[in-house]
Amino acid sequence: MDFNTTDEQSMLRDTVARYLADTYSFDNRMKTVHSGKGWNPAVWKAFAEELGILGAPFSEAHGGLGGGAVENMIVMEEIGRALVIEPYLPTVVIAGGALKATGGALAEAVIPEIIAGNAIIAFAYAEPQGRYNLADLRTTAKRDGAGYVLNGHKSVVYSAPYATHMLVTARTGGSQREAAGVSLFLIPANTKGVVRRDYPTVDGSAASEVYFENASIGADCLIGAEGESFPLLEQIVDEATAAVCAEACGVTRVLHATTLDYAKQRKQFGKAIGEFQVIQHRLVDMFMEVEQAVSITLMATLKLDTAERGQAVSAAKAKVGKAAKFVGQNAVQIHGGIGISNELAVGHYFKRSTMIESQFGSVDHHLRRYEKLAID
Amino acid sequence: MDLNFSAEDIAFRDEVRAFIRDSYPAHLNGKIDEGEELSKEDFLSWHKVLAAKGWIAPAWPTEYGGTGWTSVQRYIWSEETARADAIRLMPFGLSMVGPVIYTFGTPEQKAKFLPRILSGDDWWCQGYSEPGAGSDLANLRTKAERFTGEDGKEYYRVNGQKTWTTLAQHADWGFFLVRTDPTVKAQEGISFLLIDMKTPGITVRPIITLGGEHEVNEVWLEDVIVPVENRVFHENKGWTCAKFLLAHERTGIAGVAASKRGVERIKNIARAELDEGEMLLANPFFKRKIAELEVDLSALEFTELRTLAGESSGKGPGPESSLLKIKGTEIQQRITELALEAAGHYGAPYYRGFGEGDNEHPIGPDYTHRTAPTYFNVRKTSIYGGSNEIQRNIIAKMVLGL
């Protein structure tokens, strides 16, 4: 049992943190957000070429850094701290995770492209009726000659407007919420019959409603065995959920630090508001929430390859979701009026922390899943 | 980073498990499960087994009788003793005054007191709180006046009142905070004295708490004569010892391993109790409370593990341990709340214990007998050791710089 990071892991954290501190200021981020493109390709190029972090969780044989879940946690926490909107999560953690888990020709071809920064992959898994049930799929992939034809509607696909590929869940069999019959495909984003309605999200990113209208894809787009990918889907979503928890740790750490700093500066009734015990105790409660979020995220990350993966991840997301709400709401409250203006960074951290609350499942969803997996 | 135990750690765990199985006093079995009040003999029987084995003080430096275990081994030890439902050890000697003596004491004090703490020959109590000094501990009034005795030696004459003194009725010795200089700032006039509880002038009076237990006492001191060599550290510097002790007291206070067993016990109750014809554990509202409790306990466990990892890399217990105290005690209290809730109607019957010669079984299932007294009793945890509000003050000042 060991909770220390290796020298390589510490270096990875320092490298990412230094780059983001130097180049990813709040003003620069907001320029990208206001550009309407949803990302800054120059940042992505730097991630690939200057920092090499797009290879963090991949093997050295693929040109990666030979890391795994802990490396993803480290990068995602820094992404949270700087409120990065570029698509490390869907491209590296999720699509990369699926390819790593399955291997084969597709993995051999695409992983080096991810590491090089050429492949940008959006994760099209949610559907309007499905809420957080990964198996609740109406999107179908029907056999058609050598390939498949996709039909269906995917909800709120982050990064889809600028992605080169999409990782898509679709039914090749089974009924609407059945685990059997779920398949995973990695398709080119410009496939004919893939129709997007693009829009900005409240937390600064870009997303799309994605419609498949008789979109023909090759058999080589299939990841894993046809109709048997539900366990793989659960695994990569658990990995993604742990990564989002790590992002939330970064976001809430900044929310707390910013608010603490503000409470020491802001004067009312002739003294800093941080001198009032009611504010002090609120800031302590926020501090405790952040520390516990960090702790349980570590637990989930370290249990990703154990039999307790599902219950550990759901425990973490439930705890982190509550922490994100508590810390975000109180950060705004302690800032007072200025906390609700769009000009300060704190409000934008609050927006991201709020979206994280429900990303890959709300607190209620994960408590219910925890109950199913852990309590009988 | 790695969650797995090494082969050495697994071997250690097996050794510990076998030792507890073979050596835990049989007459203590079930005492934790049923929330029984423990006698002095109960406490000492397990203490003496561990003392004989040399495992009584894992946290102490080896030169004073510690085990030299790694933080992981200490974690395994606390997990295994909780798993076996072993009774807790009294902290007053082992976790409180012992570390103060080996950190601040003279060679003579170490030689005189430490071996008898380890062996269990001396039972210690803590003379801190007073009627006017609770959270504001530095406001204590018990005074110690120095004088030269007829034998030419230096003594203190101690007068005052201490309260909430846990199990002082069993105590051989007490460590007391007393005021030796009333003219300076409150914290600067306090000294730390070791007092033989058989000294004339000491009166111990019971306070019966909400659960009906005689656990705490008032301790009156009237012209109690204490030799100056029983003072630890410098005169008027007792606050340094007091703060050190409080930080030490807080690290073990999270009680994660024991709370895990507590959650298991509630789940067993909720499997046995019926609600709408089904087991109570199937009630979605009750189940949700269990889930939230387990989630919070996991977060606390990993917070403690992170703290232990920090300690093993050289950081002593710091103000972060206040977090463990707050969250640990909140969870302990929620466990007793849920146990009482699960007991339903049978929380109500007043349970007097199942004494010698009783031939009628107490009312209700066994697991319900002490749910209410335990719930009432455990309200103490968010008050003692520095109330949870004081812990927040400590974090605000020491961690957040407010």
Q: How confident is the model at residue B282 (pLDDT cuts 50, 70, 90)?
A: very high
From B5, which residue of chain A is nearest by alpha-carbon distance?
A1
The answer to whether the beta carbons of residues A256 and A287 sit under 8 Å apart is: yes
Residue A208 included in any domain = yes
* Record: contact A260-B400, CB cut-off 8 A: yes
Chain A residues within 8 A of B75 when measuring between CB atoms: 1
CB contact (8 A) between residue A370 and residue B291? yes
Residues of B in contact with A285 (CB under 8 A): 392
Reading the block at residue B296, the tokens are: 């919070």
Q: Are A306 and A251 in contact (CB under 8 A)?
A: no
- With beta carbons less than 8 A apart as the criterion, state whether A356 and A326 touch: no
The residue type of A95 is: A
Residue A376 CB burial class (10 angstroms; 0-12, 13-18, ≥19): exposed
Q: Any CB–CB contact under 8 A between B298 and chain A?
A: yes
Residue A127 corresponds to which amino acid? Answer: E
Residue A2 lies in a domain: no
Inter-chain contacts counted by CB atoms under 8 A, chains A and B: 121
CB contact under 8 A, A284 and B313: no
Partner-chain residue, chosen from A9, A280, A367, that has the shortest CB–CB distance to B292: A367
B238-275 pLDDT tens trace: 999 998 887 776 656 788 999 999 999 999 999 999 99
Number of residues that this document lists for chain B: 402
Distance CA B129, CA A197 (A): 68
> By the CB < 8 Å criterion, does A7 face chain B?
no
- Specify the pLDDT at position A115: 98
CB contact under 8 A, B306 and A370: no
Measured between beta carbons, the chain A residues lying within 8 angstroms of B396 are 277, 280-281, 283-284
Contact A54, A48 (CB under 8 A): yes
- The answer to whether residue B278 neighbours chain A at the CB level (below 8 Å) is no
Q: Compute the distance between CA of residue A218 and CA of residue A145 in angstroms, rounded to an integer.
A: 9
Task: Check B9 against A1: CB less than 8 A apart.
Answer: yes
The answer to whether A168 and A187 are in contact (CB under 8 A) is yes
**Beta-ladder partners of B158:** B144, B224
The minimal CB distance from B291 to the residues A277, A303, A367 is found for: A367
Residue A197 domain-assigned (yes or no): yes
Residue B267 contacts A where some CB pair is shorter than 8 Å = yes
* In a shared domain, residues A221 and A270: no
* Spatial CA neighbour of A106 closest among A98, A118, A116: A98
Residues of chain A with C-beta less than 8 angstroms from the C-beta of B10: none
Domain tally, chain A:
3
What lies within 8 Å, CB to CB, of B347 at 6+ separation is B340, B368, B371, B372, B375
A249 with A360, same domain?
yes
> How close B101 gets to chain A, by Cα (Å)?
32
Distance CA(B45)–CA(A23), nearest Å, equals 65
**Which residue in chain B is spatially nearest to A317 when comparing CA positions?**
B295
| Predicted model pTM | 0.94
The pLDDT-based confidence of A306 (bands split at 50, 70, 90) is very high
Helical pair B238-251 and B321-343, crossing angle rounded to 10 deg: 50
* Percent of chain B topping pLDDT 70: 94
The partner residues of A150 in beta bridges, in order of sequence, read A141, A215
Q: What is the DSSP string of B283-352?
A: SHHHHHHHHHHHHHHHHHHHHHHHHHHHHHTT----TTHHHHHHHHHHHHHHHHHHHHHHHGGGG-SPP-
Judged by a CB distance cut-off of 8 A, whether residue A177 touches chain B is no
Across chain A, mean pLDDT equals: 97
Which tokens belong to B310?
């920090």
Whether B298 and A275 lie within 8 Å, measured CB to CB: no
Cα distance between residue A157 and residue A166, in whole Å: 9
Q: Which residue of B294, B320, B396 is in closest CB contact with A283?
A: B396
Q: Does any CB of chain B come closer than 8 Å to the CB of residue A190?
A: no
- Yes or no, beta carbons of A281 and B392 under 8 Å apart: yes
Please answer yes or no on whether A1 and B5 come within 8 Å at the CB atom: yes
Question: Which residues contact residue B89 at a Cβ distance below 8 angstroms, ignoring those fewer than 6 apart?
Answer: B43, B46, B47, B50, B56
Report the phi/psi class of residue B148: left, alpha or beta, with left for phi > 0 and alpha for psi in -120 to 50: beta
Same domain, A145 and A275: no
Q: Chain A closest CA to B84's CA: distance in Å?
A: 21
Q: Say if the Cβ atoms of B400 and A280 lie within 8 Å.
A: yes
Q: Are the Cβ atoms of B303 and A295 closer than 8 angstroms?
A: yes
Phi, psi of B125 (to 5 degrees): -130, 165
pLDDT of A6-28, one tens digit each?
Answer: 999 999 999 999 999 999 999 99
Q: Do A3 and B299 touch (CB under 8 A)?
A: no
Q: Which residues of A touch B290 (CB under 8 A)?
A: 371, 375
Residues in chain B within 8 Å Cβ distance of A264:
401-402
Please classify residue B190 by burial: count the beta carbons closer than 10 Å to its beta carbon, then call 0-12 exposed, 13-18 middle and 19+ buried.
Answer: buried
For an interface test with B, give the residue of A2, A3, A297 to mutate (most B CBs within 10 A).
A3
Measure CA of the first residue to CA of the last residue in chain B; give whole Å.
33
d(CA B60, CA B65): 7
Please report residues of B whose CB lies closer than 8 A to that of A277: 393, 396
pLDDT of residue B111: 97
Determine the residue of chain A that is closest to B75 in CA distance.
A1
Q: Which band of pLDDT confidence, cut at 50, 70 and 90, is reported for residue A2? A: confident
At B321 the pLDDT is 85
Q: Which domains does chain B have, with CATH numbers?
A: 7-89 (1.10.540.10), 124-236 (2.40.110.10), 255-399 (1.20.140.10)
CA distance A351 to A334: 16
Cα dihedral A285/A288/A290/A292 (nearest 10): -140
Segments forming the whole domain that contains residue A210 = 123-228
- Whether B135 and B390 have beta carbons less than 8 Å apart is answered as yes
Around Cβ B191, how many Cβ atoms within 10 Å? 24
Q: What is the pLDDT of residues B128-138, one digit of tens each?
A: 999 999 999 99
Q: pLDDT class for A214, splitting at 50, 70, 90? A: very high
Tell which of A119, A134, A169 closes a domain.
Answer: A119
- A293 and A350 in a single domain? The answer is yes
- Tell me whether residues A3 and B306 touch, CB distance under 8 A: yes
Task: Assess whether A238 and A345 both reside in one domain.
Answer: yes
The answer to the question of residue A1 being in a domain is no
Adjacent-strand bridge partners of B148:
B154
A1 in reach of chain B (CB within 8 A) = yes
State whether residue A303 sits within 8 Å of chain B by CB.
yes
Q: Which of A194, A186, A178, A176 is nearest to A137 (CA)?
A: A176
Sign of CA dihedral A29, A34, A39, A43: negative
Active site (catalytic) residues of B: 249
Question: Which residues in chain A touch residue B309, judged by CB atoms under 8 angstroms apart?
Answer: 2-4
Q: Which residues pair with A216 in a beta bridge?
A: A149
Give yes or no for a contact between B270 and B281, defined as CB atoms under 8 angstroms apart.
Answer: yes
Q: Does A299 touch chain B (CB under 8 A)?
A: yes
* Percent of chain B with pLDDT strictly greater than 90: 80
Strand-pair category, A165-171 with A194-200: unpaired
Interface probe for B, chosen from A275, A366, A375, A376 (most Cβ of B below 10 Å), is: A375
* Rounded-to-integer distance, Cα B167 and Cα B89, Å: 13
Q: What are the phi and psi torsion angles at B171 (to 5°)?
A: -80, 140
Q: Say whether B299 and A292 touch across the interface (CB within 8 A).
A: yes
Residues of B in contact with A374 (CB under 8 A): 291, 294
Residue A222's pLDDT is 97
> Residues A101, A188: one domain?
no
Are both A167 and A111 inside the same structural domain? no
Q: Indicate which CATH number applies to the domain containing A271.
A: 1.20.140.10
A254 and A179 share one domain: no
Interface of B with A in 302-341 (CB under 8 A): 302-303, 305-306, 309, 313, 320, 323, 326-327
Residues of A in contact with B389 (CB under 8 A): 281
Confidence of residue B359 (pLDDT cuts 50, 70, 90): low
Question: Are A221 and A129 in the same domain?
Answer: yes
A292: nearest CB among B75, B303, B389: B303
| Global ipTM | 0.94
Judge contact between A130 and A360, C-beta under 8 A: no
> Residue A87 in 3-state DSSP?
coil
Domain end among A90, A119, A148: A119
Helix (H/G/I), strand (E/B), else coil: B51: helix
Least Cα distance to A315 among A373, A246, A359 occurs for A373
What confidence score (pLDDT) does residue B254 get? Answer: 85
* DSSP-assigned beta bridge partners for residue A152: A212
Cβ within 8 Å of residue A162, ≥6 positions away: A37, A38, A39, A120, A206
pLDDT tens for residues A107-158? Answer: 999 999 999 999 999 999 999 999 999 999 999 999 999 999 999 999 999 9
Bridge-based pairing of strands A147-158 and A140-144 is antiparallel
Q: Confidence band (pLDDT; 50, 70, 90) for B317?
A: low
Q: How many CB atoms lie within 10 A of CB A64?
A: 24
Return the CATH number at A215: 2.40.110.10
B304: closest chain A residue by CA: A295
Q: Do residues A140 and A95 share a domain?
A: no
Inter-chain residue contact B402 with A275, CB threshold 8 Å: yes
Give the residue from B283, B372, B383, B273 showing the smallest Cα distance to B326: B383
Phi-psi region of A183 (alpha: psi -120 to 50; beta: other; left: phi over 0): beta
The domain that contains A93 carries what CATH number?
1.10.540.10
Tens digits of residue pLDDT in B186-236? 999 999 999 999 999 999 999 999 988 899 999 999 999 999 999 999 999
Helical pair B284-312 and B71-83, crossing angle rounded to 10 deg: 150
Beta bridge partners of A267: A272
Question: Using CA atoms, how far apart are residues B294 and A374, in angstroms rounded to an integer?
Answer: 9
| A224 and A236 together in one domain | no
> How do residues B50-82 score in pLDDT, each as one tens digit?
999 999 999 899 999 999 998 889 889 999 999
pLDDT at B316 over 70: no
Nearest residue of B to residue A313 by CA position?
A: B295
CA angle B100, B103, B106 (to 5 degrees): 95
Q: Of A97, A81, A193, which is closest to residue A89 (Cα–Cα)?
A: A97
Q: Are residues A252 and A152 in the same domain?
A: no
Q: State the average pLDDT for chain B.
A: 92
Q: Report CB contact under 8 Å: B395, A287.
A: yes
Residues A300 and A370: beta-carbon distance below 8 Å = no
Q: Please, which residues 310-339 of chain A have a Cβ atom closer than 8 Å to chain B?
A: 312, 315, 318-319
3-class DSSP state of A185: strand
Q: Is residue A163 part of a domain?
A: yes
Give the other-Cβ count within 10 Å of A175's Cβ: 10
> Would residue A356 count as lying in a domain?
yes
Question: Where a domain ends, among A59, A84, A119?
Answer: A119
Q: What is the structure's pLDDT at B319?
A: 73
